[in-house]
Amino acid sequence: MDWTLAINLNRMALLRILGAVAVMIGGGGMAGTVPRHVHRAVAAVLRPAEAATRRLIAVVMLKTDAATPVPVGARRSRAGKSVPRKKGQRTGVSAFRLFDPRIDVDPKRKSAPGCGPRLRFLDGVDERDATGGGRPRHPQPDDPVSDRRLRDRMKALTGALNDLDAQARRLARATARMTRRIRPMRPGRAPGQSVRGKREIDAILYECACLAEMAYGDARKIDTS
């Protein structure tokens, strides 16, 4: 199997989807607000895209020579040389998350019940809501929502896709420090994966998940042989 070709095809597909998402939230402009329905639509694409990228990074680590150790505290320049990072230097972009978030098996109650009965007027007008003394207004699809977090996630995701080798080295160092071998992918369904997904991102996530399972399966055969 041509692992390099499979990695590049899925990488380019993910970058193409991110380009469409960037148009949805206003390209590369400054962070501001977007309508709530746009925020939800973008988040619904970013979550499976991040999961697919994590699986691509695992494949790069296992099936290419990109996971060559790099000294901690150094970064690679475009020419391939290690350049020491200055103390306190920040790139302004959060590091891409290499491991799937854990499944919350015991979710906490997000909101406490009110102190009294929730009464509503039946004539279509609730005087308590109008005066500000009742329940808060229900969120509307067109309400403005901050897009700062979405833009930060997109920058981290784009940076990871543009340098999968560096992310593979990060993952190799992270797994080497663990006392027991843990996969970056959580068991079961991937974050954002839809059972009946018909979007392009669903197909890409399925493909990347299959590639990662094959790569880890080959690695397990080598370890036991």
What pLDDT, in 10s, does the model give residues 15-31?
A: 999 999 999 888 655 66
Structure tokens at 171: 């993952």
Q: Can you give the pLDDT at residue 28?
A: 55
Q: Can you give the pLDDT at residue 178?
A: 81
DSSP three-state, residue 137: coil
Q: Can you give the pLDDT at residue 150?
A: 93
pLDDT tens by residue, 63-110: 887 655 555 454 444 434 444 555 545 555 679 999 998 776 665 655
Could you tell me whether strands 33-35 and 144-146 are parallel, antiparallel, or unpaired per DSSP bridges?
antiparallel
Structure tokens at 127: 């005087």
Q: Can you give the pLDDT at residue 77?
A: 44
Q: Can you give the pLDDT at residue 52?
A: 96
Q: Looking at residue 160, what DSSP letter applies?
A: H
DSSP three-state, residue 110: coil
Q: Can you give the pLDDT at residue 132?
A: 52
Distance CA 1, CA 13 (A): 19
Q: Can you give the pLDDT at residue 1?
A: 82
Q: Can you give the pLDDT at residue 217?
A: 85
Q: Can you give the pLDDT at residue 177?
A: 87
Q: Can you give the pLDDT at residue 184?
A: 86
Segments of the chain with pLDDT less than 50 = 72, 74-83, 88, 130
Q: Can you give the pLDDT at residue 78?
A: 43
Structure tokens at 108: 């906490």
Residue 73 to residues 70, 156, 170, 177, Cα–Cα distance (Å): 9, 19, 11, 15
Half-sphere exposure of 164 (CA within 13 A, CB side): 24
Angle between helices 164-176 and 148-162 (to 10 degrees): 90
